[in-house]
Structure 1
Amino acid sequence: MVEIFGTSSGALYQCDRDNCFYLQFQDKQTSFRVCSLLAFKRKIDNIDLVSLLTDEDDRSGMTIVRTCQHRELFVLTIREVLELKEILSGALVMLELNSILHQKLQYSFS
């Protein structure tokens, strides 16, 4: 496994052997295929942090997010949502950068 991006809160790894990604977060490891990782990132990005802070009926400041296959459940505080957003966004930027570099190298050697 190769670490794509990590912080003190967790990391995203790529495993070519299993053809999937592993998210290490909240003391657990969750596997994702590419499509499910992108869908999970969309769910995390769509969390309305302002409503978590200002909801009169729910002052816990927590949200629950399931993975696409409903195999894992994440109970997240506002801080954890921000940490997870950072990990997922950073990892996707690194993957995009790697793809751009790979394309440029292929182009320069052909």
Structure 2
Amino acid sequence: MGGSNVPATYQEVFRTDKGVVYQCDTSNRLILEFWDTHTQLSARDFAQFRCMVETVDIKQMALSTAAAYDVEILAPPRSERCYVLTLCEIVHLRELLTGAKLMLELNAMLRECGCSMAN
């Protein structure tokens, strides 16, 4: 995961032991690297996908014995990728996406503070 194959234009936003989110200022995209897949998303698509992951009822998945609740199928907006995720994978993906969202918000706040301090 990640390592030396990461383009120089990618800046790491947030990392867990299961994945990483990069920001590419050249393409104005966020790159989700999760379970050896790479998915490029606009900021809007990233937010929509994060909401999709957040709305999965993990309590229902954990408590149900029905086979229909063994996996969740999620497709990021405007992407050909499709994730078929178990309960544990959804939890790991939530952690990654939530951490990335918080780091992006923190960076935006720091930029605002830097701009207002310069004025």
**Coarse TM-score class (shorter-chain normalised):** over 0.9
1:16-27 equivalences under 5 Å are 16-27=25-36
Equivalent residue number for residue 107 of structure 1: 116
TM-score, length-scaled by structure 2: 0.87
Q: Secondary structure at the match of 1:24?
A: strand
Report deviation, 1:109: 1.0
Q: Percent identity?
A: 28
Equivalent residue number for residue 54 of structure 2: 45
Report deviation, 1:55: 2.3
Look up the equivalent residue of 2:31 and give its one-letter code.
Answer: Y
Deviations, residues 25-56 of structure 1 (Å, cap 9, x unaligned)? 01110010111110000000000001112223
Bigger mean CA offset, 82-91 vs 68-77 = 68-77
Is the Cα–Cα contact under 8 Å of residues 53 and 59 in structure 1 kept in the other structure? no
* More strand by percentage: 1
1:28-107 equivalences under 5 Å are 28-58=37-67, 61-107=70-116
Q: Secondary structure at the match of 2:38?
A: strand
Look up the equivalent residue of 1:17 and give its one-letter code.
Answer: T
Number of matched residues?
110
Runs of 4+ displaced beyond 4 Å:
none
TM-score, length-scaled by structure 1: 0.94
